[in-house]
Amino acid sequence: MSQLTITDLTKSFNEDNVVDSVSFSVEKGEIVCLLGPSGCGKTTLLRLIAGLEQFDSGKIIFENNDLSKTPASKRNFGLMFQNLSLFPHMNVFENIAFGLKMKNLSTQHIDTQVSNLLAMVGLKGYSKRDVNELSGGQQQRIALARAIAPSPTLLMLDEPLGSLDSNLRNSLQIQIRDIVKKIGVTSIYVTHDRNEALTIADKIVLMNNGKIIQIGTPNEVFQSPVNIFAAEFLGHQNIISGQLQSDSNNISFDSEFGKVILSNKITYDLAASSIIIDTRGISLFAKNEADNIESTDNLYECKIIGKSFKERAYEFKIQVNSQILIASFQPNYWGETPVLDIGQKAYVKINSEFIYGF
Amino acid sequence: MLRISLTLLPLIFFIAFFAYPLFKILIYSFASSEDIAIYPFAEILTDPYYLGRIWFTVWQAFLSMILALLAGLPIAYIFSKYEFTGKSFLQALTTVPFVMPTIVVAMGFITLFGNDGILNTGLSKFLNLNEPLIKINNSLTMILIAHTFYNYSIIVRIVSSIWTNIDPELERAGSILGANKFQVFTKITLPMLLPAIISSALLAFTFSFSSFGVILVLAGPKFATIEVSIYQLAVKLMDLPSASTLCIIQIIFTYSFMILYSNLQNRYSNWINIRPSKNTYKPKKNKRDKIFIILGVIYILILISPLIALIARTLSFEIGNTQSHVSELFSNQKGSYFYLNPIATIINSFKFALGTLFISIILGTISSYLVANRTNRAKNHLIDALLMLPLGVSSIALGLGYILAWNTPPFDLRGSWIIIIIAHSLIAYPFVMRSVLPAIQQINPNLREVATLLGSSTKKVFYKIDLPLITPSLIVGSTFAFAISIGEFGASLLLVKPEFTTMPVAIYRFLGLPGDENLKNALVMSSILMCTVIIGFICIEKLRYKNIGTF
């Protein structure tokens, strides 16, 4: 039996279903990410589970109890927000101790608990600090300590790193995951950032327009999107529509730029109408390099229409017939630079092991 | 259940002590004629005397507004553009007139400029004159100077708050694009300041328009404004219907100004590029700047000189007399009919002020939550505007309304102490609201949600989160409520029975009585009143610089 089971949960504002018959379950100790574009209903879903909003229909069962009768203050859930929501009129210690004091625990117990938590989030000795003078990253670590202080049975995080810059986000993502895993609290983490979700989650619940699109492990959701929305939202760039053809020898895919032979190592749904070609599976060759090409399978002529440098690779925008694809070129450290440039004609070869169909 | 009754409390108060009295005034204004309803208005509006009063009211308000601008803008410039030692003290000083009870200001002017005032006695001694040199007792000049004294601080406060925060990059951008200094001012700075200048001028106009105490005390019946005429009609002539008609005319005027003002505020509140003021100060550079600042300081000192005169005169009595006058004030036991017991008066005033503080804090806080808790913005604005309506009704109108509305047993509240506290609270609670509402709106709703999930009940969330966060604004609001009550003159004058006389009313009565003794009483009491208010506002200024609650 799952720790948290949500069944057919629906919530509407002004006759608009913000959460539309959503069902999923969370296992004990699991980190579940609610992922989706802004306005997809993920935050509302979180607030329904927290008890900050009332749902219209459906059921939330937590450890075999129906939560609809339990007020938010009695659920013993932890919550952490994106914007800096530390109590500005209390210092670090008072913020973290707030939930413990609400439980009427002894002063001594609170003292040890708070200093343990401060050590855990790496802010030992900060207990007398004014929260308004802390940096954004420190504030969020205090917010995490405050949320987990009363040992909640469920921790909810609503875009907790949304207001931080990207370097800090990356390091805090790992820290949050480590801490949450260490104390073993079941967590629901809301984010619109796919990389954050992929980094933190044990399980991703992908949402759009109030509905669940896909549920799966980060790898499943990333590698095997169920539809174009999922593919695009997880950052796939080469999504091509067409038709799957299968004959005795091999399976191929007919699309606007021609026939693509698919690998027989991968199982394809015969009804698939789209494929994703991972950028790692696309190689470019200049016209004069044609001799280096081993086979003419999945080889096409193309035109370079764009070139930019992103993160650690050049990204080429190429046109094959009317289809536009994105290819990348990773330079080595011996000063390699791409010979290709905008406007040139070239060859593109697609490696069939990097094609996923859906 | 508790929530509903809390919601109903301000609404009932509002209806019973604002809407209903106003409605009564309207009914009475029609009652003066038996023919057709509109007749009393036609009668007043064709009577050359009342037309003259209305015209004079507009005219003196206009002149006062112009003078306030002339006096206020240079100081606004100095405060916005220069940083110098003692600046925050001077800024606090410029607020003093704005919060000073009218009767105290009037007393200050009598002490300084009156025929027997400090200036005249000094000049007569110096020049060996038998007659006072400056004869502005009971003149338009006196009214205008007193209004300027009041209003320039509004101009300074509003204009400098915008001017300080205009992004200097914009002016620099203008000069890089080739504008000379004059062009930068007229094409860039002035257009951005204009809304602030116009709205502050409008406020100055409105205040002068409904000014009562200053005119009654300093100018006498010859210069009666609409407000003073209402008082005369109601109290001296007992012509309540005509007073009511005039009241309605006055209310129509002030509400038109208020609508104009809030439209201006809404239209211009968003497009000014605001920068934290630290970046915009220009350090004083050369000799010219220094002279400019020194002149500004002297100028401000001159503007508050009536208050200094008041204190000086009171102290000179103290030093000149063998027996301290303050102690005399507290020990005098005359049996005269007109005799007012000063101690009882002071105690009355403080009692009323504390009662007002209590009621207006409760009303103001609940009203603020009523506005802040709604998600519907249009409805919010409506409630907000509705609750602000008492700001536009003069205290005389309010007093008149109470006399008309609450005069039959068992609700005969005329002359009761409770009606005074109610009147003061109605005048004061919009100020509490103006202070508390922004503080409530600034509270991040996530804080309450986090506290809830950490195990706090709704009640605990209020006490642990909301209350500590709005406390500074509550203190600011209470100080305003206290100061408003203790200095309130118009409504008290209409409503108090002799045994409930308050300090402002007592000062007015003392002034009307012959003899040095009474003048001294008025002086001492004015000084006490003034010090009380100043002490309160020193506390506020301390809080203000923590960026809480700006007016």
Note if the bond before B410 is cis, omega within 30 degrees: yes
Q: Which residues of A touch B468 (CB under 8 A)?
A: 89
Question: How many Å apart are CA B319 and CA B33, to the nearest integer?
Answer: 59
CA A316-A318-A321 angle, to 5 degrees, is 175
User: 3-state class of B375 per DSSP?
Assistant: coil
Closest in A52, A81, A150 to B454, CB measured: A150
CA B424-B384-B166 angle, to 5 degrees, is 100
Min distance B549 CA to chain A CA atoms (Å):
17
Same structural domain for residues A111 and A214?
yes
Q: Which residues of A touch B462 (CB under 8 A)?
A: none
Question: Would an 8 Å CB–CB cutoff place B192 in contact with chain A?
Answer: no
**B residues 415-474 closer than 8 Å to A (CB):** 444, 446-447, 449-457, 460, 464-465, 468-469
Closest in A52, A85, A147 to B444, CB measured: A85
Q: What's the distance, CA B255 to chain centroid?
A: 17
H/E element holding B348?
helix B342-372
Q: Are B447 and A76 within 8 A, CB to CB?
A: no
Residue of chain B minimizing CA distance to A102:
B455
Same structural domain for residues A248 and A183?
no
CA distances from B165 to A11, A218, A241, B276, B546 (A): 44, 49, 56, 6, 17
Residue that finishes a domain, picked among A214, A233, A252: A233
- Work out whether the CA dihedral B65, B71, B77, B80 comes out positive or negative: negative
Same structural domain for residues A246 and A216?
no
Same structural domain for residues A312 and A193?
no
Closest in B444, B450, B468 to A89, CB measured: B468
ipTM of the complex: 0.83
Same structural domain for residues A80 and A191?
yes
- In CATH terms, B337-551 corresponds, of 3.30.479.10, 1.10.3720.10, 1.10.8.60, 3.20.20.220, to 1.10.3720.10
Min distance B450 CA to chain A CA atoms (Å):
6
Question: How many Å apart are CA B422 and CA B413, to the nearest integer?
Answer: 10
Same structural domain for residues A15 and A139?
yes
pTM for the model stands at: 0.81
Residue that finishes a domain, picked among A174, A205, A233: A233
Same structural domain for residues A269 and A191?
no
H/E element holding A300?
strand A299-310
The DSSP result for B70-104, as a single string, is HHHHHHHHHHHHEE-TTHHHHHHHHHHHHHS-HHH
Min distance B459 CA to chain A CA atoms (Å):
11
The DSSP result for B123-145, as a single string, is HHHHHT-SS-S---TTSHHHHHH
Residue that finishes a domain, picked among A233, A268, A290: A233
Which residues are A35's β-sheet partners? A191, A206
The predicted pLDDT at position B337 comes to: 44
Residue of chain A minimizing CA distance to B465:
A87
Question: Would an 8 Å CB–CB cutoff place A151 in contact with chain B?
Answer: no
Q: What's the distance, CA A357 to chain centroid?
A: 21
Using only the alpha carbons of chain A, give its radius of gyration.
25
Min distance B441 CA to chain A CA atoms (Å):
15
The predicted pLDDT at position A44 comes to: 93
> How many domains in chain A?
2
Same structural domain for residues A217 and A302?
no
**Strand pairing category for B82-83 and A16-26:** unpaired
Question: How many Å apart are CA B137 and CA A133, to the nearest integer?
Answer: 58
Question: Would an 8 Å CB–CB cutoff place A181 in contact with chain B?
Answer: no
Q: Are B454 and A98 within 8 A, CB to CB?
A: yes
Min distance A78 CA to chain B CA atoms (Å):
6
Same structural domain for residues A33 and A89?
yes
B301 contacts: CB under 8 Å, gap ≥ 6 = B308
User: 3-state class of B447 per DSSP?
Assistant: helix
Task: Burial-class residue B350 by CB neighbours within 10 Å (0-12, 13-18, 19+).
Answer: middle
Q: Which two tokens stand for residue B152?
A: 């320039």
Instruction: Kindly give the confidence (pLDDT) of every residue in chain B, 551 residues in length, as a single tens digit, with 9 standing for 90 and above.
Output: 677 788 888 888 888 899 899 888 888 877 655 555 556 677 777 788 888 888 999 999 999 999 999 988 988 888 888 777 777 777 777 777 777 888 888 888 888 887 777 777 777 777 777 776 677 777 888 889 889 888 888 898 888 888 887 777 777 777 788 777 778 888 878 888 888 888 889 989 988 998 888 888 888 777 888 888 888 888 887 778 888 888 888 888 888 888 888 777 776 655 554 544 455 555 556 677 777 777 777 777 777 788 888 888 888 766 555 455 555 555 554 544 445 677 888 888 999 999 999 999 999 999 888 888 766 677 777 777 788 788 888 888 888 888 888 877 777 777 788 889 999 999 999 889 888 988 898 888 889 999 999 988 888 999 999 999 998 889 888 988 998 999 899 889 888 888 888 999 988 888 887 777 778 888 888 888 888 888 887 777 666 555 443 33
Same structural domain for residues A254 and A203?
no
Q: Are B469 and A89 within 8 A, CB to CB?
A: yes
A43 Rama class: left (phi>0) / alpha (psi -120 to 50) / beta: alpha
Min distance A76 CA to chain B CA atoms (Å):
7
Residue of chain B minimizing CA distance to A98:
B454
Question: Would an 8 Å CB–CB cutoff place A146 in contact with chain B?
Answer: yes
Same structural domain for residues A133 and A40?
yes
Which domain range does residue A34 map to? 4-233
Each domain of chain B, given as residue ranges in start order, spans: 337-551
Q: Are B453 and A50 within 8 A, CB to CB?
A: yes
Question: Would an 8 Å CB–CB cutoff place A98 in contact with chain B?
Answer: yes
Side chain identity, residue A130: D
Min distance B476 CA to chain A CA atoms (Å):
18
> Distance between the two ends of chain A, CA-based, in angstroms?
31
Same structural domain for residues A153 and A284?
no
Q: CATH number of the domain that A175 lies in?
A: 3.40.50.300
A195 contacts: CB under 8 Å, gap ≥ 6 = none
Q: Sheet containing A65-66: which strands, arranged edge to edge? A: A16-26, A4-13, A57-62, A65-66
The beta-strand segments (E) located in B222-335 are: 282-283
Task: Enter the DSSP assignment of A83.
Answer: S
Q: Which residues of A touch B464 (CB under 8 A)?
A: 98
CA distances from A346 to A288, A296, A320, B545 (A): 9, 14, 10, 68
Q: Which residues of A touch B444 (CB under 8 A)?
A: 83-85
**A residues 62-91 closer than 8 Å to B (CB):** 72-81, 83-85, 87-89
Helix, strand, coil percent content, chain B, rounded in steps of 5: 80, 0, 20
